[in-house]
Amino acid sequence: MGGFEGHLYPGLSLFFYGLYHTRLVYRALICNCPVQYAPRRPWRKGGWARLQQIYYVGLVKILSACILVAQELHSVPGHFVLITKMYYQKNFLYRKQWQHLTMYMTFFLSGCADVVSQNLLPQRCATLEQGAQALGVLMLLLLMVSHMQDTEGVELQSHMLLTQAIFLLLFVVIAELWAPNTPQLWLLKAFLYMMIGSWLMQIGFMLYKPISGYTWMDNDKNDIIFVTTFFCWHVAFIAMVMVWVYGFSFWWYRYIC
């Protein structure tokens, strides 16, 4: 996720994924559904019928991961290798790029799990999706902890806040494995996905394209303190978004349910 685009595109993907989960949560609550995910239609034969029943959210995850991988590989100068041998020593290269690719791999595998569970194993779709989701968030948290090495100032503070949000998301998705039909966990998960995506985009603007036109200074304590202030503003903004989505969902689903 190096560079501005490397923070913007993953942030948009996570934000809209959280927004999608927000819609699912409110649909379940307003329509009094017993589960968060609506039941799938019976599997029908025929090429066009099969295509219509594919779980498109899983496909979007897979496509997004492929686009992010292509963007990451395009930004690497020279040959993209893992280990190079120079002067009879083996050295690992592009450590951050390999971390980014591993993060994208979690999105790809999560999308594959969504497609397989919804289309091939509908009776166990929730368990498989939640297990894959928890594993992906765990890998993301471990990578983010090591990703903060050799960073300082504004970059370190912003990534520490991002890591804390990912830790809370991991706690929620693990709790969901034992309590899958808990609306409070659904709301927290949707909120944290949007929060992580929104803050990831904010990191890209702060580090590479500041809206004010002035570069954030690592040796200025005021800049570092305001990073946390902006994070709190994002928390309030996501809360207002969820309230707005609830109002729209209530108006929409009361005529459908």
**Residue 217 pLDDT:** 87
Distance in angstroms (rounded) separating the CA atoms of residues 160 and 141: 11
Range of 115's domain? 3-253
Residues 253, 31 contacting (CB under 8 angstroms)? yes
The mean pLDDT values, 10 residues at a time, for the chain of 257 residues are 77 89 85 59 47 62 83 71 64 76 83 70 62 86 85 90 94 89 88 95 90 83 90 95 89 72
Distance in angstroms (rounded) separating the CA atoms of residues 43 and 55: 12
**Residue 213 pLDDT:** 79
Q: SS3 sequence, 117-154?
A: HHHCCHHHHHHHHHHHHHHHHHHHHHHHHHHCCCCCHH
> Model-level pTM?
0.84
Distance in angstroms (rounded) separating the CA atoms of residues 168 and 163: 9
**Residue 192 pLDDT:** 95
Distance in angstroms (rounded) separating the CA atoms of residues 145 and 244: 33
Q: Can you say whether the dihedral through the CA atoms of 30, 34, 37, 40 is positive or negative?
A: negative
Q: Tally the domains of the chain.
A: 1
